[in-house]
Every structure is written in C-alpha cells, then in structure tokens.
Amino acid sequence: MFDGFKLDFIDVGEAILRVRHGGSGPPVLLLHGHPRTHVTWHRVAPLLAAHRTVVCPDLRGFGQSSKPAAAPDHSGSSKRAKAGDCIALMRRLGFDRFAIVGHDRGSYTAFRTAMDHPEAITNLAVLDGVPIIEALERCDVRFASAWWHWFFFAQAEKPERAILANPDLWYPATPEQMGAEAYADFHAATRDPETIHGMLEDYRAGLGIDRRHDEEDRRAGRKVQCPTLALWSLRDDLERLYGDVLGVWESWTTRLEGRGIDCGHHMAEEAPAELANELLRFLAKE
C-alpha cells in the first residue's frame, strides 16, 4: 500500500498522529470515517499523488493516533479539537493553506476545519455526510431505524463492551473487499479497546459539544467560504434520508456542487478511480 509514501508519527501539540504522506504539488488532506483508519484511502491516494501532495492521518482517537484524555463534555474528541490537529499537522509539513476531504465522521472534522480556519482551506469536499446539527434536527423514524447506532454509541460503557464482544458482527469486512494490508490494519484497530473507546468518543462529542458549535455558527450566520463539493454513495442512506443532499448543504456554503456516486458507503474502497477523478476535477478550481 501507499507505494512511495512516507509513514510518520507526528506530534501536533495535543495529539500524536499516525500519518502517510507523499506525492507533490498543491496539498490535500484526506480524513477517514468510522470505523476505518487512514488506510481506507490506499486506492485513492496514489491516484491523487500524481498531481497533489497527499496527507492521510489517523484522526485522534482512531487507528494508531493518540487517544484524547477523558473530559465530561468529550471536548478532546470534538471536531473543533480535531480541526486544530489538522491545521497543526499541515503546518508541521510546511503547508499554511490546503484542500481538505472528509468521509463519514471525517466529513464533520473537514467541515469544522473549513468553518474555524477559513484562511487555511482552499477547497472542502464532504463525502457521505451532512452537518451534524442538520442530521439531528431531521431525525425521524427513518433516521432512527437506519442510524440508531449514533445514539447507542453515545451511551457510556455499554457500546465498548458490546463491540469488543464480537467486532466482526459490528464491523463486517473482508480482505477481498479492502485488500489484505488494509484489512489487517482495520482488523487490528477494531479489536483494540483504547481505539474502540476513542472512536465512540467521537459520537459522544457529536451529540453534545459538536452540535453546540454548529448551533453557534448558524446563529452567527457563518458559512464555508471556499468551494465545497458534496458527494454521496447512491447505495447508502444519505439520499434516502434527505432527498436533496445539496439542499441540506446549501445554507452552510457559499459555492457548492456535488452528485451521487454509484457505490456503497466506503466509496474510497469501492469506487476509487471515479472518486479520485471527481476530486481532481474539483481541486483544479482552487
């Protein structure tokens, strides 16, 4: 995996992140979702690296990155804290401005980075996600039936015990789907108690402090100032839950485009060439 990329552990102040980086040209930061690590990008990153400098970290709390200290409000796992990690990481690598792409839970950190640090972000791409507050305010029986795990994962202790009792039941995947090396990394992460706890803290922050940050932005009328691309998997739930996905993002952005991709949820693994082409087309607009 990641032929020609360098693997580092980089201290960004509040966290130590496991990071792959390679390629040359304008920088783009790729953020994975739950329950993946940065290796979910192993089929996309080399395609981008022919034109871009590509940086793929494990988010704090995930994979082999450090786990935040416990706090009553879960602030160490907030998307604002993770956005700070993104800014510090890219500055350590020599980049004050960069494009950012996030999938699933990573899309919330990407969005928060663009909102909190508009001077640093040239382009924002959000994959399979809408702002957390929009998802929660639109919660109905369809959302509760399909995404009930949001609320279970936010409970104390019980989800850790349930997942670790049978990780394969919670996180089904195969080497054939992911690639042998990527699967081995995923397999190790989803069986590590500290990593499971770190991933679940992301959900706990989502229902509390992250929602409050979105509420504050909306009251202040803040929007993403850079070009924004929203992509979603046509064989996943987003379009079924929200219908007009771009319509959900419209009030949060100033320049928006997007479309669905014919694949399942893990689009970087299932449709890497189409995703890479779409990202390169979009990033050329910066």
- Give the residue numbers marked as catalytic: 104, 265
Which residues partner with 258 through β-bridges? Answer: 230
Whole-angstrom Cα distance, residue 56 to residue 280?
16
Listed in sequence order, the residues at least 6 apart from 190 whose beta carbon sits closer than 8 Å to its beta carbon are 35, 163, 167, 170, 171, 196
The answer to whether the beta carbons of residues 270 and 263 sit under 8 Å apart is: yes
Residue 235 CB: number of other CB atoms within 10 A? Answer: 13
Q: In what order do the strands lie in the sheet with 121-127?
A: 6-11, 16-23, 53-57, 27-31, 98-103, 121-127, 224-233, 253-261
Q: What is d(CA 142, CA 230) in angstroms, rounded to the nearest whole number?
A: 22
Distance from C-alpha of 196 to C-alpha of 46, rounded to nearest angstrom = 28
DSSP summary character for residue 247: H
